[in-house]
Structure 1
């Protein structure tokens, strides 16, 4: 019993430190994308192998590689997210006839954006693909694997709501969310997800 409790505490500590590193590396804002990519890469390692507790060295090494490969993509993706927020503000504050129609289209666009964002992280860390292929496959997965998309987006939204209700969970919920999302993606699409992942 004591060993099990100790193991649980060790795992929670690992998720806590991973989450803290993710938050620290996200602080410049424009590094959110490579930092999140790094977190997904590490939870992928944890799912396939034992948890690596030398997190600082591992995170920094992975972050440098992801920043080199995905920094510009991350900036563009962040701009798209900001534009969506501006659109919501515009629709909410201004009255016009087509408001409900535009709100519905914006909601659909947001769903696709969130789904693609999650799949981009999952695909990029699992498959060795060019950036254009990653984006293309993220879109195809988002539309073609609707069940996975809905479930992963629901996990993300639920975790955000939980964190809003219990703010101190911010210090650990990001890494746990990434683990649940990646696990859901890989388990629900096991045939394709594991086909080439060993080449990564």
Structure 2
């Protein structure tokens, strides 16, 4: 018998919490198996992929089976994808430090523009994994669409930043929750916001948005 009313709501939230806790443990195990260096990105992609399936009304998904399959399938590609983002971020960070160390008007102006570029980069990065698991695109299209989404939908970009910051801040204040929700809760929120945006974009024919078939 299916529970309804407030009992049903509590049951669904508790069930979701247990699934997210289990998924977060799988995420940490995946990172550990890859020794961190080559395990973080495939484990993160697998986690986002599971969450996407859960939010597509497939709440009874076999989490371990799907996670394992996506981890193995996306191992190489996700590392290339992730480390490309990491290198871009490192370049922006080093450039910002370099120009901030020069006491001239031009360096100050350049530092300001690099800072703006860094803010756009961070917002685009938050879309990187949701977009990766939602669409089949080539690397150029992934980066292009992340940038276009941020620039054309600034409100959603702000929501994504807040969707990352608040659960992150909460985890820092209650560190005992990190092993159970440190990655999965943030991913769930980011995927939820992204899904709403992707749905609206799929309903609008835009020449600037690269569309392709979904992964599933």
TM-score (norm: length of structure 2) = 0.76
Residue 21 of structure 1 corresponds to which residue in structure 2?
26
Measured in 1, the distance between the counterparts of 2:97 and 2:176 equals 28
Answering whether residue 192 of structure 2 is matched by residue 190 of structure 1, we say no
Higher-Rg member (1/2): 2
For structure 2, the residue ranges without an aligned partner over 5 or more in a row are 1-5, 205-210
CA distance 1:100–1:32, change in 2 (3 Å)? farther
Measured in 1, the distance between the counterparts of 2:212 and 2:57 equals 14
The range that moved more, 157-166 or 186-195, is 186-195
Measured in 2, the distance between the counterparts of 1:87 and 1:167 equals 33
Q: Is the 8 A contact 2:46 2:67 kept in 1?
A: yes
Answering whether residue 158 of structure 2 is matched by residue 150 of structure 1, we say yes
Instruction: Give the deviation of 1:30 after TM superposition.
Output: 3.4
Q: Is the 8 A contact 1:46 1:52 kept in 2?
A: yes
Measured in 1, the distance between the counterparts of 2:162 and 2:174 equals 18
Answering whether residue 169 of structure 2 is matched by residue 161 of structure 1, we say yes
User: Residues 1-200 of structure 1: matches in 2 within 5 Å?
Assistant: 4-27=9-32, 28-52=36-60, 54-84=62-92, 96-97=103-104, 101=109, 104-171=112-179, 172-193=181-202, 199-200=214-215
Measured in 1, the distance between the counterparts of 2:9 and 2:68 equals 30
Measured in 2, the distance between the counterparts of 1:114 and 1:53 equals 31
Instruction: Give the deviation of 1:79 after TM superposition.
Output: 2.9
User: Alignment partner of 1:30: what SS?
Assistant: coil
Question: Does 1 or 2 have the higher relative contact order (CA < 8 Å, sep 6+)?
Answer: 1
User: Alignment partner of 1:22: what SS?
Assistant: helix
Q: Aligned-residue CA RMSD in angstroms? A: 2.9
Measured in 1, the distance between the counterparts of 2:202 and 2:52 equals 12
For structure 1, the residue ranges without an aligned partner over 5 or more in a row are none
Q: Is the 8 A contact 2:164 2:189 kept in 1?
A: no
Q: Is the 8 A contact 1:186 1:193 kept in 2?
A: no
**Quick check: which one's helix share is greater?**
1
Measured in 1, the distance between the counterparts of 2:203 and 2:67 equals 24
Q: Is the 8 A contact 2:30 2:43 kept in 1?
A: yes
How many residues matched?
199
Instruction: Give the deviation of 1:192 after TM superposition.
Output: 2.0
Q: Is the 8 A contact 2:136 2:213 kept in 1?
A: no
